[in-house]
């Protein structure tokens, strides 16, 4: 008979896999698939065609539609350059905290969800439960959409999705959407003493960055909608976090590369913000080409994550509120895969153990109390599924 691991033992095992987004997650996926198989649960994969990564999903209970879906991601952010006091890929319990990369974001929930799936299978449930573990969430939620599409081809479609990002077990019913663009400004090099005959890519890029500053100021000054007012900050933000370029101080820069990212409040269209940015890009590019026709600006979309829109009497929200007793309204400004499930026709909510403030940090941790609260929540969910 297969060993039944505790949620904590599963967490210890998951953290041991260094599933940094730049690296493979296949050893973790192999382990989870084997563990579920040892309990008679068949798992399915979506294998990325371009890299050694896979999503994993499974179903227990009656083969009917309407399952509750437990959604988590397997990848974690790097630890490079961070001053850790312990081995980041080993769970260390100290002072009521569980330290380790991903304990909070979000292998803590993954472990609880795997435990819950096995419990649901062992106890028997009248309403099905599904597990969905994605990849590449940390680099723009790029692994979830193909996973969701693959799930619907193999499993009966679920109806309520619980995305277990750290929310201190509060029911988060809305989050901002996000999109990011790699922007490559290509100028024309001349000696800086003759800069009027060349095109300085850095100075042209600066015009787009100043557009971002002006847009932020205008958004902040505008009266927010009732929906936008729920967020902190209550407006769409435009951000440049990385920039590089130039050859020497006395040459007009041939190249400048930077990222332009948007965090759009729910209710605003990401496609509209994309159109606004591209219009500004083309205006700057036209001025560059008026000096030299070879100058140009190249844009590529790095990620696009839809907002989670608050639902009117949403099934997922109603379920989580019943299990947690949390009836307050909560929204967040970070993005999750919940909006992608919602776009695919699922009711979705974010609810998971841990505090997002600990995510991505050196000495990342989840408190033991939060981990236990997450497991108690999962136990109540499985009991509820037994009854209906």
Active site members:
75, 137
What stretches of the chain show up as alpha helix (H) in DSSP? 7-16, 26-38, 107-123, 144-154, 201-221, 270-291, 315-324, 338-343, 368-387
Dihedral of the alpha carbons of 45, 59, 15, 54, in degrees to the nearest 10 = 10
Q: Which residues pair with 180 in a beta bridge?
A: 261, 303
Q: What is the C-alpha radius of gyration for the chain, rounded to an integer number of angstroms?
A: 23
Contact criterion met (CB below 8 Å) for 181 and 248? no
The Cα 31–Cα 132 span in angstroms is 15
Longest dimension (CA), the chain: 80
The Cα 70–Cα 170 span in angstroms is 15
Burial of 52 (0-12, 13-18, 19+ CB in 10 A): exposed
Contact criterion met (CB below 8 Å) for 323 and 384? yes
Burial of 79 (0-12, 13-18, 19+ CB in 10 A): middle
Render 51-79 in DSSP notation, one character per residue. SS-EEEEEEESSSSS--EEEEEE--B---
Contact criterion met (CB below 8 Å) for 280 and 139? no
Residues 6+ apart with CB under 8 A from 224: 234, 235, 265
Contact criterion met (CB below 8 Å) for 227 and 276? no
The Cα 219–Cα 228 span in angstroms is 11
Q: Is residue 316 classed as helix, strand or coil in its secondary structure?
A: helix
């Amino acid at each position: 008979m297969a060993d039944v691991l505790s949620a904590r033992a599963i967490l210890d095992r998951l953290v041991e896999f260094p599933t940094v987004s730049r690296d493979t997650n296949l050893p973790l996926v192999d382990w989870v698939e084997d563990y579920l198989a040892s309990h008679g649960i068949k798992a399915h994969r979506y294998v990325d065609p371009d890299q050694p990564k896979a999503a994993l999903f499974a179903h227990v209970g009656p083969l009917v539609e309407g399952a509750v879906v437990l959604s988590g991601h397997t990848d974690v952010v790097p630890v490079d350059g961070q001053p850790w006091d312990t081995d980041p890929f080993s769970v260390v319990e100290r002072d009521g905290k569980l330290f380790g990369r991903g304990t909070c974001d979000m292998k803590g929930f993954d472990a609880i969800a795997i435990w819950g799936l096995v419990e649901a299978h062992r106890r028997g449930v009248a309403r099905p439960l599904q597990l969905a573990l994605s990849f590449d969430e940390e680099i723009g939620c790029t692994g979830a959409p193909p996973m969701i599409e693959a799930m619907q081809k193999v499993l009966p479609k679920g109806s309520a999705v619980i995305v277990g990002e750290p929310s201190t077990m509060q029911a988060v019913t809305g989050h901002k959407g996000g999109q990011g663009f790699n922007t490559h400004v290509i100028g024309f090099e001349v000696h800086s003493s003759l800069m009027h005959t060349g095109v300085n890519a850095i100075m042209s890029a600066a015009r787009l960055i100043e557009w971002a500053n002006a847009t932020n100021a205008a958004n902040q000054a505008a009266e927010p909608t009732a929906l936008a007012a729920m967020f902190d900050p209550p407006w769409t933000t435009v951000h440049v976090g990385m920039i590089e370029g130039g050859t020497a101080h006395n040459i007009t820069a041939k190249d400048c590369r930077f990222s332009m990212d948007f965090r759009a409040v729910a209710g605003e269209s990401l496609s509209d913000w994309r159109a606004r940015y591209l219009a500004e890009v083309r205006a700057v590019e036209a001025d560059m080409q008026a000096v030299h026709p070879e100058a140009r600006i190249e844009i590529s979309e790095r990620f696009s994550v839809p907002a989670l829109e608050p639902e009117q009497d949403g099934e997922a929200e109603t379920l989580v509120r019943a299990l947690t007793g949390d009836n307050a309204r909560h929204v967040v400004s970070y993005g999750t895969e919940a909006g992608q499930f919602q776009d695919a026709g699922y009711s979705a909510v974010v609810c998971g153990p841990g505090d997002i403030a600990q995510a991505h940090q050196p000495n990342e941790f989840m408190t033991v109390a939060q981990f236990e609260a997450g497991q108690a929540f999962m136990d109540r969910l499985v009991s509820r599924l037994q009854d209906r």
